[in-house]
Structures are given as structure tokens and as C-alpha cells.
Chains A and B, each alone.
Chain A
Amino acid sequence: MATDPADEQLLDIRDLKIGVTVREPGKPPRDITIVEGVSCTLGKGKVLGLIGESGAGKSTIGLSSLAYGRGGVEITGGEVFVNGRDILKLSRADLNGFRGREVSYVSQSAAAGFNPAHRLIDQVIEATLEHGLLNRSEAEARAKELFEALSLPDPDTIGNRYPHQVSGGQLQRVMTAMALCPKPDLIVFDEPTTALDVTTQIDVLAAIKKAIRITGVAALYITHDLAVVAQIADEIMVLRDGETVEHGTTQQIIETPKEEYTQALVSVRSIIHEEKQPSQTPLIRMENIVAGYGRGPAVINDVTVDIYSGQTLAVVGESGSGKSTLARVLTGLLPPRSGQSTFEGRPLTNAQKDRPLDDLRDIQMIYQMADTAMNPRQTIGTIIGRPIQFYFGVTGKALQDRIAVMLEKIELPSDMANRYPAELSGGQKQRVCIARALAAEPKVIICDEVTSALDPLVADGILKLLLDLQKRENVAYMFITHDLATVKAIADSIAVMHLGKLARYGTKTEVLSPPFDDYTDLLLSSVPEMEIGWLEGVTASRKMQSAGN
């Protein structure tokens, strides 16, 4: 144990190397390095933000401070000192005593982290009892204090509920309470707010920040969102491909980033898009649409929106606001209960299977998950070529040429045509999906959260490509997203949806200029900005609470 904690760093990672052995069928096993010589230190009560894109090794480094490697990952070199002892050298029994007591962990998906069969309180105090730190009634009292500190509603009774009886944001906070309960010295937060809605995210963020301040615990905060980490961290370490790119105080990283990669991360989403004015007649008008699934209640209620040729309508809202349902109505997969869509002035058949082929061709769709949107058994050439073959009857050499042209449009090399989707990166996959939609030469493309699953820099590239293609091909987009930064970057008009209704609708300038209605204000103010102290300013000035999440 440390002699004098005040002199020592709480966490001291020295030249950490982490690798994994990949065993592909039919090939000899080979070693891959995930983390290559990362060092950092963390003092008591400090928060270090680890930031990077997927595959940067940030979660792996976070877990190494629990001396844990996920899924066959092995720590191959370096030292990790916690409270002055090298935890990589601990025996299995010592590790059991160490994990969950000195260092605890909060995962991204709280819903998957809780056992649905047990009450929250029993799971929150489990580690505390296991380590024999407190007796049952003391532990429950501590849990209730923590619930209070994390601004959970009904702190005295919420612990008696089961995981499915609280919302996602609440569950994430309960998980934080679980991590704090055994009074650890360090908590590893692994993307705790990434899976949450934007308005919920800031509540959870504020709660975590408050709890950290009250309990004086140190934290490693892992995220891909620089704006989020800027609110909570004292220091930030930027990682890329398992190496440290830049390490400095939050202020230095945000305001004066030194490295090019950090600068790119800081300036992401700075696309300037000049808004186009709506023309006289809309390309598509969806009028008084009411729709729902089966015999259930209406998911969207009396929604009227217009899409103009060559322009982008952004549909914004949180999960469950009905924005994807609106897209399904437009595609015809979900015929509306009432209301009518018109396309170039004539009524559009409600059900997709009754629509003429030309209407199908004119309305194309791009999905959120490019992985599942492409048949894994078809080559990229087949995937892009099929719409051309299907709608225009082009075959043979001419088809190959058209595929090459499409690949060029999405800035991918033409030899991609012979590869399979599994061989492509996330951003490349999404580009192929764009090419498939574009190959039909549509008048409108529905983009359903197309950038949500991508890293910020990759997402930025996709948005730029979409804007560029819009200019050249004069195609309209119906852009569904929960991310207001994306909306600001590409929209010409905006429809804000809340609980199945239009909360606000108009051109971008109209929608984004005050005076705001309460919901739009909440939504706009919830988008994290890359500015230190933004969180405090926002929570103080909001007009509407985000439904107790």
C-alpha cells in the first residue's frame, strides 16, 4: 500500500502495451497490437478524459486499470500502478479484492449491465457487501445517499424497482451509484452517455459530474465526443491507433490543440452550408399524416412537411418521436391511417407494393447500419449494380462502367467492386449504401440516421459527400437524425418532432432563431458545445426539464 497517498499518483500507467492474438480460420494465428506504449498518471479526485475514434484502444486502456482484458486481449507489457502497487502482478485472489473496491467500472449499456431478475438496490450494494465494507443497512443508506447525489427521483424507493422499470438515463445513473457505492478511489466510465438521447445525456452528465465532486473520486472518462469530455475532465488524452496523440489540460486541448489530428477533432462539424430558399412547389408534400403500427396508438399525429427538389429536409427528434415512422410512411412500407402524400403534384400511392416502378426508383433510402443494409454475400459491384440493372436494364460491360462511375462518385477505388462488405470499414460501407441509392437516379433519398453509427471524422466525410452529391445531382434529402450539429450542417428546412407531433417546422433560419418553443429550446440547449463550463450554464438556464430522465 502507498505510504503517503498525497505524494503519490493514484493511477500511474507506464508504457502500457496490449495485444491480441487473432485466429482467423485457415490462417496461422497472428498477434495484433492494440495499445502501443501509452503512459499517463492521474491524481486523487482528478478526471482524465480518454478520447479517440473506434479502434483507438481507449476502452482497452480503461479496462487495463482494472487489470482486465476483454475477449482474449492480453496486457503484454508495461506497468499499471494503483495506489502505488503494480496491479498487473496481483494474484487472482488479490485481484478479486481489488476490482470493484479500489477501481470500479461503468459501462456504456447500463441496460445490458444489470441483471433484469434482481432489484436495483441489491445489485447496487452487491460489491460493497461482497467486499465486506459495510453491512446491509449501512450499504442501503449509502446507496440512497448516492441516488440523491445523482439526482434520481424518489431516492428512497427507486432501489426497489427492477431495471426495466426505470428509463435508460436513470439506469445509467443507478449504474454510476453502483460503481460509487464501495467508495472506490477510481471509476472507469466507458462511454456512459453515448447510447442516450441528447436531452438525457446532459442530465446524466451533470449528475455524474456532481457525484464526482461530492464523493471526491477520480475518474477515467472514455468517450468519442470531445464536447462531452470537455465538460467533465481536468485533463484530456487523445488516442489514435493505440498511441497517444496529445495529452494536456482540457483547456489546452480545446483551445490550443497542437497536433493536426486533435485540431481535426476539435473543428469537426464545422461544415458551413448555405440554406436554399424553398421553391414554389414542393417535390413531395406529406399532408396531415397520421400513422401507427398494428392496432396500437398513432405514432405520428397530423404531420405536414414539404420536401423541395435539391434541398434537405432534416427531421429531428429523440428516440420515439416518430421520425423514422415518418420515413416509413414516405417509403410506403407503413401506409398512413389518414393523410395524403403527393409527389410532383400527383397523389402518391400509400402502399409500397402498389406503387409504379418509377415512383419506387425516385424514392431511395439509406440506412443507419450499413452493416445490415448490405447483403454480406454480394460483392460491392453487385450491390451498386443491381439498381442500375433493375431500373435501367443495363448489363454487361456498360453495367461495369456505370458501377465504376458510381464508385468514383463516392470517392472509392474502382477495384472495390470485387470486394465483399465485410472487407470494408464503416465509413466505406456507408459510402457504398449511398452509391446504391444514388445509382437509381432518385429525386429524393431518405437518410435514416446515416451518420449516427460512425466516428465523428468519418461522419463528417459522409456529410460532405452527401452535400456535394446534392449539388451535382440535384437530389433532395429527407434527413432523419437526433443530432442537431448534423442538422445545422446540412439542412435547408427543419422539422422538429416531439411525441409524434411537429414541435416546430420551417426553414433552417426560422427554426434555429429565437423565440423558441420550450421543446426546441431544450433540444438545442442540450447539444454539447466545445466550451468549458457550458454544462453549468445550460442546466441553469433551461426552460423545460427533460421529463425526469
Chain B
Amino acid sequence: MNFRTIPVSAWLGIISASLFAFAALFAPLIAPYGMSEIVGDVWEPMSAEHLLGTDNLGRDLLSRMIFGARTTLAIAALATIVSFTLGAFLGMAAAVIGGWADQVLSRGVDLLMSIPTLIFALVVLSVMPANIATLILVMGILDATRVFRLSRAVAVDVNVMDFVEAAKLRGEGRIWIITREILPNALSTLVAELGLRFIFMVLFLSALSFLGLGIQPPEADWGGMVKENKDGIIFGIPAALIPAGAIAVLAISVNLIADWILNRTTDLKGGRGGN
């Protein structure tokens, strides 16, 4: 890989996404104040002491943004991992095994997808104990349906190739066929999808927090911060817009990276001997 071939748009994405990741990793070191420390008046404007001002309880907004990045990114990442592991494995298994197993899994996924995700998540989360593990699992499982469809579709195509038939004739088990024959050929598509799904997770988590079913206060997370500060908008206080803007910038930057990866893999397919 050559750094000079990475397009400008991808560089922008990489740089801003790494900034977010850096803030999340080293939150306690770079945040000027504590996460839930009340350091001033309610909704103070931006100043040298409080770069982004303070929030509805007088906490430093910049510090909460930094700690919020940590929660938001970590939970979105964990949920994406759950969704991918589950979705990709089941999707490929459905394609390789076929028949009844495929029918049961695919129709189950159809059923789950036919219920609006947000409403389904709201119902489940209001019934289940409100902790982070439940949140991650619910988000992961609901999102796994999308990954399942994609990986099944890719795997069905790969599964009919002669080299998979050759492996079956050799007597290889299904685990080998899925992990060694199909997965490497589906990986580029899945990696590109990974970026998109991660963004959807961030948006999903923010929506849940905004509705009060995601991260519980006093923990900071961007969606929750929009909720806490939304009343300020009436008084012309921009505190709610800052976390909202951060969500948008993160979404765009990860998308730029995903686009570049997708382009790169399609280039490779066309570039090898032209067949």
C-alpha cells in the first residue's frame, strides 16, 4: 500500500476519525475538568476557562464531549463487533448449509427486520434491566440482521464457485469452508460495510440516549447530551448543537474511509488481468 495513493477525502476521514479516537482513549488526560463535576453556572457561553461553555447543570461541555466520545465510540464499536460476528457467521452458515437451516434463519431475520428497529429496541430496553451489556447486545442483535443479509448474499455467490466445490469434494468441514474459502473472498465487502454499520450504531445509540433508554445519566454520551441541552436552543444557547455536530462529523469521516476502502477493493478486482 502506498500512502500517496490515498485520496484527499480519505485523508480527511482518517485524520478526523483518529482525533475522535485519540480523545476517547485518553479522555481523563486531556479533559480539563471531571465528567460530572459542576464547575460553573448553567449554560455559560464559550470562554477561555470553558472552551465550549457549560451545560444545563453547569458542567464543562468540552470535558463532557471528550468523555462522551469515549462512551459513544466504545459502545458503538462493541455493538458493531457483536453484530458482525453474529451476522457474518450466521449469514455464511445459511448460505453454505442451505435448505431448511437457510430458510429458518432467513425468515427469522425477515421477521426481525419487519419490526421498526427503534421501536423494537425501545420495547426491549424498557423491559430488560438497563445496563450497558443489555444495550450492546440489543443493538448488536438488531443490527446483525443487516449484516446477515449482506454476508449471505456474498457467500451464496462465492459458494457456487468451483474452488468451494473442490473443497467440499475433498471432504472439508463447513467451518473450514466458511472461514478459509468463503470469508477471505467476502472480506473486502464486509470491511467496507463495517464502517457504515459502525456509524449506524453511533446514530442508533445517540437516538436511544436521546429518548432516555441508552446511556443513563450522569454518564456522558453525545445523544444524551443533545437531550440534556435541547431546551437551551429556545434561549439561543448552542450547547445541544455541539454534540450533534460531533455525531455528524464522525459519521462523515468514517464514511469517507469506508468509501475509499470499497473503491480500493473494486479497483483490485478490475485490475487483476482484467478478467
Within 8 A of B (CB), among A16-53: 23-26
Tally chain A residues at the interface, Cβ within 8 Å: 32
- Complex: chain B residue closest to A370, CB-CB: B162
Return B71 CB to nearest CB of chain A, in Å: 37
Given contacts A25-B267, A375-B163, A378-B184, 17 further A-B contacts (CB under 8 A): A24-B271, A26-B1, A26-B2, A26-B5, A352-B168, A355-B171, A360-B170, A361-B171, A365-B169, A367-B162, A372-B162, A375-B181, A377-B187, A378-B180, A386-B170, A390-B170, A390-B171
Given the complex, which residues of B lie within 8 Å of A352, measured CB to CB? 168-169
Within 8 A of B (CB), among A264-292: none
A373 near B163 (CB under 8 angstroms)?
A: yes
Please report the C-alpha to C-alpha distance between residue A390 and residue B268 in the assembled complex, in whole angstroms.
31
Given the complex, which residues of B lie within 8 Å of A363, measured CB to CB? 169
Residue contacts A-B, CB under 8 angstroms, 10 given: A25-B267, A333-B169, A355-B171, A372-B161, A375-B163, A375-B180, A378-B180, A378-B184, A386-B170, A390-B171
Produce 1/0 per residue, A323-341, CB < 8 A to B. Answer: 0000000010100000000
A365 near B166 (CB under 8 angstroms)?
A: yes
B185 near A377 (CB under 8 angstroms)?
A: yes
Please report the C-alpha to C-alpha distance between residue A365 and residue B166 in the assembled complex, in whole angstroms.
7
Which 10 pairs across A and B sit closest by C-beta, in order of nearness?
A: A377-B184, A25-B267, A373-B162, A360-B171, A422-B272, A375-B163, A372-B162, A367-B162, A26-B5, A26-B2
Judge whether B114 is part of the interface by a CB distance below 8 angstroms. no
Task: Please judge, given known A-B contacts A352-B168, A357-B171, whether A374 and B163 are in contact too, CB under 8 Å.
Answer: yes
Judge whether A436 is part of the interface by a CB distance below 8 angstroms. yes
Q: Which of B162, B169, B170 contacts A369 (CB 8 A)?
A: B162
- Complex: chain A residue closest to B166, CB-CB: A373
Please report the C-alpha to C-alpha distance between residue A355 and residue B181 in the assembled complex, in whole angstroms.
22
B170 near A440 (CB under 8 angstroms)?
A: yes
Judge whether B37 is part of the interface by a CB distance below 8 angstroms. no
Produce 1/0 per residue, A408-448, CB < 8 A to B. Answer: 00000000000000100000000000001000100000000
- Complex: chain B residue closest to A358, CB-CB: B171
Given the complex, which residues of B lie within 8 Å of A372, measured CB to CB? 161-163
Within 8 A of A (CB), among B228-268: 264, 267-268
B271 near A25 (CB under 8 angstroms)?
A: yes
Q: Which of B161, B172, B181 contacts A390 (CB 8 A)?
A: B172
B185 near A376 (CB under 8 angstroms)?
A: yes
A436 near B169 (CB under 8 angstroms)?
A: no
Given the complex, which residues of B lie within 8 Å of A361, measured CB to CB? 171
Given the complex, which residues of B lie within 8 Å of A159, measured CB to CB? none
Judge whether A387 is part of the interface by a CB distance below 8 angstroms. yes
Given the complex, which residues of A lie within 8 Å of B273, measured CB to CB? 422
Please report the C-alpha to C-alpha distance between residue A25 and residue B181 in the assembled complex, in whole angstroms.
25
Judge whether B275 is part of the interface by a CB distance below 8 angstroms. yes
Please report the C-alpha to C-alpha distance between residue A71 and residue B268 in the assembled complex, in whole angstroms.
17
Judge whether A234 is part of the interface by a CB distance below 8 angstroms. no
Within 8 A of A (CB), among B1-48: 1-2, 5
Given the complex, which residues of A lie within 8 Å of B271, measured CB to CB? 23-25
Produce 1/0 per residue, B147-182, CB < 8 A to A. Answer: 000000000000001110110111110000000110
Given the complex, which residues of A lie within 8 Å of B181, measured CB to CB? 375
Please report the C-alpha to C-alpha distance between residue A364 and residue B5 in the assembled complex, in whole angstroms.
44
Given the complex, which residues of B lie within 8 Å of A246, measured CB to CB? none
Given the complex, which residues of A lie within 8 Å of B162, measured CB to CB? 367, 369, 372-373
B171 near A375 (CB under 8 angstroms)?
A: no
Task: Please judge, given known A-B contacts A25-B268, A26-B2, whether A387 and B169 are in contact too, CB under 8 Å.
Answer: no
- Complex: chain B residue closest to A359, CB-CB: B171
- Complex: chain A residue closest to B163, CB-CB: A375
- Complex: chain A residue closest to B6, CB-CB: A26
Return B174 CB to nearest CB of chain A, in Å: 11
Judge whether A371 is part of the interface by a CB distance below 8 angstroms. yes
Given the complex, which residues of B lie within 8 Å of A71, measured CB to CB? 274
- Complex: chain A residue closest to B168, CB-CB: A352
Please report the C-alpha to C-alpha distance between residue A357 and residue B185 in the assembled complex, in whole angstroms.
27
- Complex: chain B residue closest to A368, CB-CB: B162
Given the complex, which residues of B lie within 8 Å of A357, measured CB to CB? 171
Return B177 CB to nearest CB of chain A, in Å: 10
Q: Which of A364, A371, A374, A390 contacts B275 (CB 8 A)?
A: A371
B170 near A387 (CB under 8 angstroms)?
A: yes
Please report the C-alpha to C-alpha distance between residue A378 and residue B170 in the assembled complex, in whole angstroms.
16
Task: Please judge, given known A-B contacts A25-B267, A376-B185, whether A333 and B165 are in contact too, CB under 8 Å.
Answer: yes
- Complex: chain A residue closest to B165, CB-CB: A333
Return A330 CB to nearest CB of chain B, in Å: 11
Please report the C-alpha to C-alpha distance between residue A390 and residue B267 in the assembled complex, in whole angstroms.
34
Return B33 CB to nearest CB of chain A, in Å: 46
Produce 1/0 per residue, B176-217, CB < 8 A to A. Answer: 000011001101000000000000000000000000000000
Given the complex, which residues of B lie within 8 Å of A371, measured CB to CB? 275
- Complex: chain A residue closest to B160, CB-CB: A372
Given the complex, which residues of B lie within 8 Å of A333, measured CB to CB? 165, 168-169
B171 near A367 (CB under 8 angstroms)?
A: no
Given the complex, which residues of B lie within 8 Å of A373, measured CB to CB? 162-163, 166
Please report the C-alpha to C-alpha distance between residue A369 and residue B162 in the assembled complex, in whole angstroms.
8
Return B275 CB to nearest CB of chain A, in Å: 7
Produce 1/0 per residue, A346-366, CB < 8 A to B. Answer: 000000100101001101110
Produce 1/0 per residue, B112-139, CB < 8 A to A. Answer: 0000000000000000000000000000
B185 near A375 (CB under 8 angstroms)?
A: yes
Please report the C-alpha to C-alpha distance between residue A364 and residue B171 in the assembled complex, in whole angstroms.
11
- Complex: chain A residue closest to B266, CB-CB: A25
- Complex: chain B residue closest to A366, CB-CB: B166
Please report the C-alpha to C-alpha distance between residue A364 and residue B169 in the assembled complex, in whole angstroms.
8
Given the complex, which residues of A lie within 8 Å of B170, measured CB to CB? 360, 386-387, 390-391, 440
Return B190 CB to nearest CB of chain A, in Å: 13
Return B163 CB to nearest CB of chain A, in Å: 5
Within 8 A of B (CB), among A44-73: 71
Return B167 CB to nearest CB of chain A, in Å: 8
Please report the C-alpha to C-alpha distance between residue A8 and residue B171 in the assembled complex, in whole angstroms.
67
Return A208 CB to nearest CB of chain B, in Å: 29
Please report the C-alpha to C-alpha distance between residue A357 and residue B171 in the assembled complex, in whole angstroms.
7
Produce 1/0 per residue, A116-137, CB < 8 A to B. Answer: 0000000000000000000000
Q: Which of A352, A355, A372, A377 has the most CB of B within 10 A?
A: A377
Please report the C-alpha to C-alpha distance between residue A359 and residue B173 in the assembled complex, in whole angstroms.
16
- Complex: chain B residue closest to A331, CB-CB: B169
A436 near B2 (CB under 8 angstroms)?
A: no
Given the complex, which residues of A lie within 8 Å of B274, measured CB to CB? 71
Given the complex, which residues of A lie within 8 Å of B185, measured CB to CB? 375-377
Return B201 CB to nearest CB of chain A, in Å: 28
Please report the C-alpha to C-alpha distance between residue A355 and residue B170 in the assembled complex, in whole angstroms.
11
- Complex: chain B residue closest to A433, CB-CB: B166
Please report the C-alpha to C-alpha distance between residue A283 and residue B206 in the assembled complex, in whole angstroms.
68
Within 8 A of B (CB), among A299-340: 331, 333
Please report the C-alpha to C-alpha distance between residue A361 and residue B169 in the assembled complex, in whole angstroms.
9
Given the complex, which residues of A lie within 8 Å of B1, measured CB to CB? 26
B166 near A367 (CB under 8 angstroms)?
A: yes
